Amino acid sequence: MAAADVEYRCFVGGLAWATDNASLQQAFASYGDVLDSKVITDRETGRSRGFGFVTFSSEQCWFPFYRSRVVSAMK
């Protein structure tokens, strides 16, 4: 895979039902530049399914988030 094809996308689970794309992006902006945030919704009802994805612009933004999750999971 070429470097230009790399995406720094993270799965985010356990979202509150009221979380929307904008609030998801705002919550992760403290780690760096967020290119995209998407809360996955039910096709029929339009309600959140409780999870989503956040895409960071670079590894420098993604890695601090990833590291904080791995370290907290190991405690």
Domains of the chain with bracketed CATH: 20-74 (3.30.70.330)
Q: What is the pLDDT of residues 6-34, one digit of tens each?
A: 788 888 899 999 999 999 999 988 888 89
**Residue-averaged pLDDT of the chain:** 82
Neighbours of 12 (CB within 10 A): 20
Question: For residues 44, 26, 33 and 47, what is the CA-based torsion angle, rounded to 10 degrees?
Answer: -10
User: What pTM was computed for the model?
Assistant: 0.76
Question: Picking from 11-15, 27-31, 58-62, 64-68, which range would have the lowest pLDDT averaged per residue?
Answer: 64-68
